Amino acid sequence: MFDIQEIRSQFSILDREVNGKPLVYLDNAATSQKPNSVLEVCHAYYTELNANVHRGIHTLSQLATEEMELSRRKIQKFINAEHDFEVIFTKGTTEGLNLIAYILTQKLQKDDEIIISYLEHHSNIVPWQMLCERTGAKLRVIPIDENGILQMDHFDQFLSEKTKVVSVNQVSNALGIVNPIEEIIAKTRKNTDAYVVIDGAQSAPHFNIDVQKLDCDFFVFSGHKMYAPMGTGILYGKREILEALPPFHGGGEMIATCSFEGTTYAGLPFKYEAGTPNVGGNIALGAAVDFMNRVGHTNIQNHENALLEYAQRQLLEIEGIKIYGEKAKRTGVVSFNLEGVGIASDVGMILDKMGIAVRTGHHCTQPIMNFFNIAGTVRASFAVYNTFEEIDILVEGVKKAQRMLS
């Protein structure tokens, strides 16, 4: 049974007021709120278990290690990785993508090609540009049409023996558009031996992820967008690929032996987890997975899709509104502007006075904004705890902002 009020009761922050109004939190694509079960795990770690992991024989260290490794196994099951050591703890999606781009440096050379798309977050653009600068490789970008949909005929033309990396997001953070990654992966496999990287930052909170079925080489996502603490994230990589590639950071934990004459590296996953990890956060990421499993992926997806459909229908009744990607398959996000209102942030500030939290600006996707010839959008994004009543409040807030700003 899906009980929205029972779910909302697990998020204490939803009871607060902002500017004298009940909080309507619609900035979930930036970060989600955390259920009490996750917060309790964080608190319990620091009050009952606080110790460094993998490095001590004392009881607290052993217990903390057990809890973090249990979390790793939960995440392994969550994304259906074949091995738990294919699950690497990171600070988030950005670090995961930078890690991949760095360790692939020796695999690329001048005039090799990297394919990304027009719908990428800056975190899936800049690391590849930096890799091109290091190696002389070239970046190719799958264009979009006026609806924000990838033009796959261009992708077909791009694929060649020069293609060494294909890196795309599963869901656009700016527009919520769901990209055809299954098709992208299948075509890449058929025509090249390129590495396939999937940015799952906006899909892991909403979809059931199966990395083995997808057959991607890497999959990255952030914990803080799926009810876990900030500073947590996951890099999944296929065992044979991670074992063959070099480390990212050097230091403690990632060594097998270290001397002034040379160093040998630890096995997976520790080869890629140098330094003290975010132990409490990593354990709490497992608790966030538990929360999502209790609610159920089908329930989450059905509720959020219903919210999106309702929000779009209600907003489109406002004269002069423009929803970007309106005709594309989307999830979790409605991104819009009002005709005659020059600055999206002005709308956001008026909504904030009404207790409504949305995101305004370019959403770290300046190429998308340039394509539509706009500076930014107002983005409302949904999570499992949002309600239809909150969307009604949003719609009335947008109408008020339009009256004040037009």
Alpha carbon of 288 to those of 135, 136, 229, 298, 355: distances in Å?
39, 41, 9, 16, 26
Nearest to 272 by CA among 102, 63, 53: 102
What are the tens digits of pLDDT across the range 227-255?
A: 999 999 999 999 999 999 999 999 999 99
Give the predicted TM-score (pTM) of the model: 0.97
Residue type, 42: C
Tell me which architecture the domain covering 4-30+296-405 has in CATH. Answer: Alpha-Beta Complex (3.90)
Give me the residue spans of the domains in the chain.
4-30+296-405, 39-294
Distance CA 199, CA 195 (A): 13
DSSP 8-state code for residue 102: H
% of residues, the chain, pLDDT over 90: 99
Give the CA dihedral 215, 241, 292, 360, nearest 10 degrees: -90
Catalytic sites, residue numbers: 364
Alpha carbon of 96 to those of 1, 273, 356: distances in Å?
36, 11, 32
CB 179 within 8 A of CB 157: no
The SS3 call for residue 252 is coil
Q: Under CATH, which number does the domain 39-294 receive? A: 3.40.640.10
Evaluate if residue 55 carries a pLDDT over 90.
no
Distance CA 108, CA 286 (A): 35
What are the tens digits of pLDDT across the range 135-186?
A: 999 999 999 999 999 999 999 999 999 999 999 999 999 999 999 999 999 9
